[in-house]
Amino acid sequence: MPKIVDQEAYRRQLATAATRLFGERGYGSLSMRALARGLGVSSGTLYHYFPSKQRLFQAAVRVVFEGHVEAVRATSRSLQGERLAARGEGSRTLASDEDSGASRHADLRHGLLELRELYAFFLAHEREIMRDFLVLTDFWRLHPEERASLEPLLREAHDTYAEVVASLLGVPSHGLGELMISALFNLLEQRWFHGPEFDCEPQLELLERLVALERARLSES
């Protein structure tokens, strides 16, 4: 009895495996024949699922960014759970505190700590993030006409990052989430240019101040 192959699942499997090859060797240096060899399939099989290297790369990019988004969401769920647990403990501690400002300050302080936890998440994935950025840049350099084909996916990933950041900070502002995510990525770029000894503390403190101002504004409205 012939083996039944889930073609969509196998297509995704090939795209997932291709992310490693693109990450290790870059986009420009790989041909479809080299990709097929690295994936352990024939060129004919690879062309059956992907008519060109560009289409394989686009599928690989989707796999990468879907993975990034899910990782950020998982981090968000974990940190939100910690936030709820901390609030429960804090409510018992502050129950006799008549100064509601102190309670708001404690809540704000907890949110700002999560900003640093999110930065720690990006720092832990720094190598993969910068590698993916360089491979994507290589693709755009060789195929500038293909940029539009990836923009919806990149926008979706960016919007999701921004949504998660805003949620973690407890500030219902998509614009602030976008600003924070751009700033955090920029810190990784500066570490890439200046080396791991780059001191990001001043920038993190400024971001915390900005969040504090926004939260104070919202609490007064």
CB atoms within 10 A of CB 139: 23
- Token output for 201: 């503390």
pLDDT for residue 171 = 80
State the pLDDT at residue 88: 66
Which positions of the chain have pLDDT values less than 50? 1-2, 94, 96-112
pLDDT (tens digit, 9 = 90+) per residue, 29-63? Answer: 999 999 999 999 999 999 999 999 999 998 998 88
- Evaluate whether 60 touches 15 at the Cβ level (below 8 Å): yes
Residue with the two structure tokens 């936890």: 117
The full set of domain ranges for the chain reads 58-220
Q: Amino acid letter at 79?
A: L
Identity of residue 101: G
Give the SS3 label for residue 170: coil
pLDDT of residue 2: 47
> What is each CA distance from 180 to 109, 126, 165, 206, in whole angstroms?
17, 17, 7, 11
- Choose among 131, 127, 130, 94: nearest CA to 110: 94
